[in-house]
């Protein structure tokens, strides 16, 4: 029986100035100090705040993650940020393939694959996001959409490459809408994702990968979600912006 440590991650999206991010990160590190021996906690501020936040969290187990990266090491790519740059800003993790990036910034399964590769090469934990839209769910395409996202996103990796991988299931219809997938809907998909991982990479890796749920996670629904088999954590958007609220989610037990 593999023991998957829960991971609660806050995706701050395009919110908070540098000072606001630093203040929130410090508050979070204090508020969650009593549970970090049992739960991994991560915050993902905007690029501009990463180095400052990492600096303030140097002595805290709260992890800092980027929200995106570019796969090239360096070069004439105006506006892009490499994996090594994230590492140099103190990041340990990076969110890849978030549905907002797929929807607004032309992220594809192919670019997601390159980004995961770059993250792994730099020693970053990739938090690989997958999920179906509302119309895909209504058309009963949830599983086929996830099949494709997982297969293409993780194409050409070996089980060894993916030892640190975290998967985040974020149904697009539940993001920022207040509509949470029911715990049973989420469990069903998480179990399916683990089967997909097992099929491609074997039982050992599949059993060790953490699969987070994301989409309107709040203090009042997190415990039920976290009680479900195969749900190993949460990727939290709106409710991670307020330190007290985020801390309540981290204290889900
Ligand atoms: P909300 O928690 O605001 O629905 O956002 C979820 C999300 O997109 C986290 O990455």
**Superfamily name and number for 7-250:** Aldolase class I (3.20.20.70)
> 44: CA distance to ligand 1 center in Å?
12
Res. 129: pLDDT tops 60: yes
* Alpha-helix residue ranges (DSSP H) falling in 7-98: 18-31, 47-56, 83-88
Give the β-pairing of 40-44 and 210-214.
unpaired
Work out the angle between the directed axes of helices 183-201 and 142-153 (0-180°, nearest 10): 40
Averaged pLDDT for residues 67-91 = 98
Placement of tokens 């180095």 in the chain: 51
What would the pLDDT profile of 9-65 be if each residue is shown by its tens digit?
999 999 999 999 999 999 999 999 999 999 999 999 999 999 999 999 999 999 999
What would the pLDDT profile of 179-192 be if each residue is shown by its tens digit?
888 999 999 999 99
**Separation between Cα atoms, residue 224 and residue 246, nearest integer Å:** 16
Averaged pLDDT for residues 93-119 = 98
Which ligand 1 atom sits nearest the alpha carbon of residue 168?
A: 10
Averaged pLDDT for residues 70-94 = 98
Substitution site in 65, 236, 239, 248 for ligand 1 pocket (most atoms within 8 Å of beta carbon): 236
Q: Is 98 a catalytic residue?
A: yes
């Amino acid at each position: 029986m593999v023991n998957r440590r829960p991971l609660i991650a806050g995706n701050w999206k395009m919110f908070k100035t540098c000072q606001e991010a630093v203040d929130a990160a410090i508050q979070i590190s204090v508020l969650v100090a009593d549970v970090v021996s049992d739960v991994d906690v991560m915050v993902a501020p905007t690029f501009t705040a990463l180095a400052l936040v990492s600096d303030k969290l140097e002595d805290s187990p709260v992890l800092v993650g980027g929200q995106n990266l570019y796969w090239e090491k360096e070069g004439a790519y105006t506006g892009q940020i490499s994996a090594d740059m994230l590492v140099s800003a103190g990041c340990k993790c990076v969110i890849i393939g978030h549905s907002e990036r797929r929807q607004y910034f032309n992220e594809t399964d192919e670019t997601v694959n390159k980004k995961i590769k770059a993250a792994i090469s730099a020693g970053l934990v990739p938090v690989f996001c997958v999920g179906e839209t509302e119309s895909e769910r209504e058309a009963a395409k949830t599983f086929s959409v996830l099949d494709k996202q997982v297969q293409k996103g993780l194409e050409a990796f070996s089980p060894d490459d993916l030892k640190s991988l975290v998967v985040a299931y974020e149904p697009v219809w539940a993001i920022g809408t207040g509509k949470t997938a029911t715990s049973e809907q989420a469990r069903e998909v998480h179990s399916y994702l683990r089967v997909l991982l097992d099929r491609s990479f074997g039982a050992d890796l599949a059993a060790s990968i953490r699969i987070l749920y994301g989409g309107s996670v709040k203090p009042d629904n997190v415990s039920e979600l976290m009680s479900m088999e195969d749900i190993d954590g949460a990727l939290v958007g709106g409710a991670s912006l307020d330190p007290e609220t985020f801390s309540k989610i981290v204290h889900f037990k």
